[in-house]
Amino acid sequence: MSGTSEQAGQPALDTNCDEVPYEQFGACLEANAEPAVNRIPQGELFSCASSKPASSPSRLRRVDREEWAHNIGQPLTKSGGRGPSIASSNPFRGSLDNPYSSYDQNNTIDTTTLDLYLRVLPGAGVGWTAVLPSSAGGMNTRVRKVSQDKKLQCMFSTSVKPDAACIDYYLGEFLRHGVLFRAPTGEEKAPLAALAQAALDAEPAAPTKEDRTLTMRQITSAAWLMPQALFRSEMGDGVADEAGRQRLTDDELARQLAYVLEKRAPGAPASHNSGSGAYSESNKTTGGYSTSADGYLFEIVQAALDGSIQDAEKRRTIIKNHSGGLDPQRMDLYQDRSDNLRSRRGEYWLSTGIARFFREWLGYEKASTVFKDRPQATSKFDDPKDGAQSGYQRAYNNMQADAFLVEPLLVEQMDDTIARIVAADQDVLKNLLTSTQFYVPSNDVTGISPSSGSYGAKLHLPRAYNIEGDVAPTREDRWRTLPTTERAGVLTHPAWLAAHGNNFEDDPSLIHRGKWVQENLLCGAVPPLRLVTVAAMVPPQDAQNSLTARQRVIEATHNEYCLNCHKKMNPLGFPFEIYNHAGFVRVTDHGKAPDGSSMLENMLDPKLDGPVTSAIDFSQKLADSPEVTRCFIRQVFRYFMGRDETLEDACTLTAMEDAYTKSQGSFQALLGALVASDTFVFRHTPAP
């Protein structure tokens, strides 16, 4: 964040701290700590003292990777669930500079992005190019509406050339249900109609089905190059009220609400794969489709059509109806995961938008990409003779990359653990931080030869949770209540610990874990590395390899200069030293007893001050802190509004806090308060 781009109510950055006298160095670091939004006093953000009506800056928001893939009706995985599909290989990933993928800053379409997009563009409208499209661009799918709406058949017939009425109807339905997810204007349809007519006129006198498919691909590709297809508007209806605010239109508000719940537009197509790919015909509830013919979130579509989307209570109801729940068939995964993989997941589900919030806020998705050397090191499963191909290493790698497709990934195990808590919808944050109930992988090796590489890759899967025995391949047995001396909440889950841990067991993982707690649970600010003027590294091990990571970090950061920053991280990271870099419970730490003790001082919430014995004790204290709850509410606001909060949002944040408190910790109530607010509905022209 730069001083020229701060939002209203946020502190600006000062000069480089290298330029100030040493006695002022600590104060300079405090003034420059990041994220800048965390430097706003939390008490001011939860004090509704302003009489100014709330609103948000108007903007255009580019579609992101998951939204595009789902909006065109494609899965995020290839057939069988191995790796990304061509559709998900689109270039619309959010800027790495943004704290959440929902932020719109720096998300545009430059020449490089456009070049990459053109490579996957032919698959954008594949479900609309024929009634039963064959494999096109590696994606074999069809859209249910196309196969059921007989009035669309005229575009696919090669015996009679489509007339103007046929073209007009097709484009209206395609744009409404497959591209814009609203009724197109005449100005939007006219250029496409002219292109469609020209493409049809260029066909041979007796076109084949292949000729027609190529023609349709030209038309659908052109539609998916429209700016309105790749950017969604939050500009308002053009009618300013007394405060200079403009209300979002019905279609804009519907799209905004849909993206709170799902990574897809309202009415995104029901798609079907006729092969044995990511979804199948086996489910009689949907007849082999991912949702009804009306598309996803059709309740939002209807609310936009009749105008009830503008009613705050209607929006709250929609959140309640679609945020999550219990579904043994896990139809929320139907588009992206095959039947056998879905049956191994937990029975609780969250909408993709809400699930994505927890992944991004807790940052545990990184667990799939952080290399771990000997993940079992210092645990009771450790054997110094184990090499890189040990069963433990293979098992852990399998939970990261799904190499053998045997059990849910480590990240998915965390998803299911969180889903159960959020779906129950009581004391959500407290239970997230203290629950001992975890969804763990089965290690059933029935039918696998002990000489097979997949044998060890599966046999040792539960060891990451310190489980020595077997876990049966049932949901009942996969749900485990773990010892209170070992696990309590998401901060003690192997996925979170691995995501915020380093590569080796004696690396300074505690610094990364402490920094995350400071910024994301306490809404504190940490000076950035660019202000560090000495080499930031821990000393090497001694000759006997007897120093713990904790000892090496203390030795490296004990001086006043380093503690200017590390006092904000180290005490919050020490409690997690009862776990290794991969999240295994330690039984020894280089010949010493694992030490998770810490002394917390000068905390934002004075009740947090004092000693803690471990991450379990620490998590309980965090769960009981009102200031932690407020920070959680701020994170919810940031993700679902796609921007930082400002002092002008104080009344909305206060309303969210009231809703959460009065509902005994309901996440649905918290989110409902946000979508009911003027901040969610109104827009104003941002200051230049």
CA dist., res. 506 & res. 519, Å (int): 24
Least confident of 180-189, 205-214, 570-579: 205-214
Rounded percentage of the chain residues whose pLDDT exceeds 90: 69
Full DSSP string of 19-63: GS-GGGHHHHHHHH-BSGGGGS-HHHHT-----SPP-EE-EEEE-
Q: What is the mean pLDDT of residues 409-416?
A: 96
Give the chain's mean pLDDT.
Answer: 89
What does the pLDDT look like over 518-541, one tens digit per residue?
999 999 998 887 776 666 678 888
The answer to whether the CB of 294 falls within 8 A of the CB of 173 is no
Average pLDDT over residues 331-340: 79
Q: Are 379 and 505 in contact (CB under 8 A)?
A: no
- pLDDT of res. 539: 84
Average pLDDT of the segment spanning 348-358: 96
pLDDT-based confidence at residue 12 (cuts at 50, 70, 90): very low
Q: Write out 71-120 in H/E/C secondary structure.
A: HCCCCCECHHHCCECCHHHCCCCCCCCCCCCCCCCCCCCCHHHHHHHHHH
Give pLDDT tens digits for 629-657. Answer: 999 999 999 999 999 999 999 999 999 99
Q: What is the pLDDT of residue 73?
A: 81
Confidence band for 8, pLDDT divided at 50, 70 and 90: very low
Res 138: pLDDT: 39
User: pLDDT class for 351, splitting at 50, 70, 90?
Assistant: very high
Tokens 């041979």 found at: 204
pLDDT at 126: 84
Q: Looking at residue 2, what DSSP letter applies?
A: -
Average pLDDT over residues 487-498: 98
Residue 289: predicted pLDDT = 65
Q: CA–CA separation, 166 vs 10, rounded Å?
A: 54
Q: What is the pLDDT of residue 103?
A: 94
pLDDT of residue 403: 64
Q: What is the pLDDT of residue 277?
A: 42
Question: What's the pLDDT at 329?
Answer: 86
d(CA 278, CA 557): 50
Give the pairing of strands 142-143 and 59-62.
Answer: unpaired
pLDDT at 51 over 80: no
* Cα distance between residue 213 and residue 131, in whole Å: 10
Instruction: List strand residue ranges (DSSP E) for 373-523, in order.
Output: 437-439, 479-481
Q: Per residue in 463-474, pLDDT tens? A: 999 999 999 999
Grade residue 44 by pLDDT with cuts at 50, 70 and 90: very high
Tokens read off for 190: 């006219």
Q: Looking at residue 569, what DSSP letter applies?
A: T
Q: In this predicted model, what pLDDT tens digit does every residue of 370-393 receive, in sequence order? A: 999 999 999 999 987 776 668 899
For residue 1, pLDDT over 60 is answered with no
The residues that bridge with 683 in the sheet, in sequence order, are 56, 246
Residue 274: pLDDT band by 50, 70, 90 thresholds? Answer: very low
pLDDT of residue 21: 72
Q: Which two tokens stand for residue 329?
A: 């068939």
CA 415/CA 406 separation, integer angstroms: 17
pLDDT tens by residue, 159-174: 999 999 999 999 999 9
pLDDT band at 3 (very low <50, low <70, confident <90, very high): very low
Q: Which residue has the higher pLDDT, 400 or 284?
A: 400
